[in-house]
Amino acid sequence: MGRFLSLLQYFFTKRDSGTQQLVSFVRAVTGMAPLNLALYRVALQHSSIEEGPTSNERLEFLGDAILSAMVADYLFKRYPLKEEGFLTDIRSRLVNRDSLNGLARKIHLDKLLHYDTNLVKRSGHKFIYGNALEALIGAVYLDHGYDRCRKFVIERLIVNYISLKELIEHDTNFKSRIIQWAHKHHLHVMFRILEENQYEYYKEFTAQVLIDEKVMGEGTGRTKKCAEQMAAQQALQHIEQTE
């Protein structure tokens, strides 16, 4: 009965241009009409605009857990002979902050996200689009259930926009690579955690990589390991540009 009433509301509610744009976006990206449009409005509302239940942090928390479970299930079934280490590594590459940020831009989610540009720049939040994508996944899950949300995540996001073959072949263990490079050139490499910020539903770490006591890269992530990988990636990019 509740879903039927939601459908009636969807078809008979008058919409302004902003609402129509949101409905069109959700339909184009997910392949489904939004039943509870309020969920998607919250998913695209960053905490720099509004905090509490009207920001997307709670949906982001939910979407993060659902996305991780769905990707794990997908990889487990797709690669039945692969060991746990391989599956963990590929899942990490699929759902890391940088990957999700890029994926959010590909589906043009960045064009609809509401946020305070100045506050975001001052706070140093670099992955607001990827976080909003997780919030969108949380919204789809609440709106349509697990099975339809999984179809959206796997078929419309991963299959459409991510090449698993390239992901597997491309070595993204940046920390290991920067350590190998430093040892090859007889240089001392060290990682250190610069900041640890506690938000309402998650932590965020900022790490630096130093080579012979000179800062060569800085990165941010939900875990210390992820932050160190991002810092190592930046350092490698700097080295490639200067060599």
State the catalytic residues: 64, 134
Largest CA distance in the chain: 70
Query: Residue 122: phi, psi to the nearest 5?
Result: -70, -35
User: Which among 9, 32, 104 is positioned nearest to 63, based on CA atoms?
Assistant: 104
Determine the Cα–Cα distance for residues 49 and 94; give it in Å rounded to an integer.
Answer: 28
Q: What does the angle CA 36 – CA 40 – CA 41 come to, to the nearest 5 degrees?
A: 105
End-to-end CA distance of the chain: 65
d(CA 203, CA 72) in angstroms, rounded, equals 22
Per DSSP, the residues of 51-87 read -GGGSSHHHHHHHHHHHHHHHHHHHHHH-TT--HHHH
Distance (Å) of CA 32 to CA 14, 73, 112, 149, 202: 19, 22, 18, 10, 30
Q: How many residues does the chain have?
A: 243
Contact 23, 34 (CB under 8 A): yes
